Chain A
Amino acid sequence: MKPLGPTRLILMTAALSCCQAAFAHGPVFDCYLEHDDQVKCEAGYTDGSSAVGRKIRVQDARNKLLLEGSIGADNTYTFQAPAGDYTVLFLGGDNHDATIQSADISR
């Protein structure tokens, strides 16, 4: 089995970190690069419930807020990739937050 990379660990942690009773409602979050350095992030939950309207924050390496937005009707949020390292936070509610680092965002 391949070792888990940081992003996989983040995704797994996001899915597993909530309490046992809430397994039916774990957050899932991922981002990837599209054309023209647009970053597209998708969010959802393991029970299929919608993430529409949930907040997304983009922060730089010093946790300075660069961007803030909301998950759209297609369960995605797209933004222009900032210069330098950054972090994308999905505020999934009820401690269902998930984070991805820019180093783990690729095409």
Chain B
Amino acid sequence: MTFTRRLFQTLAGATFGCAACAAQAHFQMLYVEDTAPQRGDKLEFALVFTHPFSGGPTLVMDKPRAFSQVSAHGSKTIDLRQYLRPVQWQSRDNQATAYRASIPRELMRSLGDHIFVLEPEPYLEAEEGLYIQQFTKLIVNVGGVPGDWTEPQGLPVEIQPLSKPYANWTGGVFRAVVLADGKPVPFAEVEIEYLNHAVDIEQNSFGQAAYVTAPQASFNAQSTYADAQGIVTLGLPRAGWWGIAALDIGATKTHKGKPLSQDAVLWVQARDMVPGKDSGIAH
């Protein structure tokens, strides 16, 4: 994280009166309930710019510049902006404009990987005079037929998965490459944050209760670096959603005359290993 952003987040934590907020990261969420459905069905999205570990505060989103789907057969990119609608997202401490999208079943019926890409409008941290733009990817697989989940999408910045983002057991290891203009970014600064609150997508809200309590603020958003090949490796110690953000790796460094941090975000869903009924293992 750049010093400027770290300083701002510290100030933001102080502003919201929450010492634990000081070390949390801004994360562009691209949320669905299930990234590995057995059968394609309509898909409800929530697009929320927030602090997922603490369930807020949520930041106001402008209408995204792009929201698209690369279909399971990889042959076409579908513009999904027509499905976007603004909502007021209720997080723990505040309410702010976010977006929802209802993707019809017709676009989700095909077996295989459906790759969703969000390019938000840069967000202005007004107090600091700094813009943040997080290019965010989410991959949904229908039926279990693998597809192009590991293919880069040609974004200015992105995280290229080396493991299927939709097929991870709790306790597993996830690997990915941080890319800028399609090239690995050695030693990229990466933050990892757990979505620590339930999502009530119909009510456009986070649940009030946190799943886990961090022993100290530095646990809220874990910091690490990619290696010399740009590869980042993380563990998935708990079922649910894990956000991975590579910070300030874009070539475009200014927006409207102010500093711009172009970040790459990928969301990964981890599942518990649940014993089968006939396994003989106590549930």
Contacts and interface: CB of A to CB of B under 8 A. Distances in A.
Tell me the dominant secondary structure on chain B's binding face. loop
B258 interface: no
B73 A46 contact: no
Given A8-B39, A30-B39, A30-B40, A45 B145 contact: yes
Contacts of A94: none
Contacts of A12: 38
Interface residues of A, number: 20
Interface string B74-114: 00000000000000000000000000000001100111100
Interface string A49-87: 000000000000000000000000011000000000000
Contacts of A26: 144
Given A7-B39, A11-B39, A42 B110 contact: yes
A11 B146 contact: no
Nearest to A4: B38
Interface residues of B, number: 16
A42 B111 contact: yes
A29 B82 CA distance: 30
Contacts of B142: 30
Nearest to A48: B146
Contacts of A74: 73
B58 to A, nearest CB: 28
Interface string A19-59: 00000001010101000000000111111100000000000
Contact of B38 (A8, A42, A48, A75): A8
B105 A107 contact: yes
Given A30-B39, A30-B40, A74-B73, A11 B143 contact: yes
17 contacts: A4-B38, A11-B39, A15-B143, A26-B144, A28-B111, A28-B143, A30-B40, A30-B109, A30-B143, A32-B40, A32-B109, A42-B111, A44-B112, A46-B144, A46-B146, A48-B145, A48-B146
Contacts of A48: 145-147
Contacts of A30: 39-40, 109, 111, 142-143
Interface string B135-165: 0000000111111000000000000000000
A72 to B, nearest CB: 12
Contacts of A15: 143-144
Contacts of A32: 40, 109
A107 B106 contact: yes
Contacts of B109: 30, 32
Given A28-B111, A107-B106, A46 B38 contact: no
Nearest to B75: A74
A49 to B, nearest CB: 10
A72 B142 CA distance: 20
A12 to B, nearest CB: 6
Contacts of B38: 4, 8, 11-12
A46 B39 contact: no
Contacts of B106: 107
A11 B37 CA distance: 11
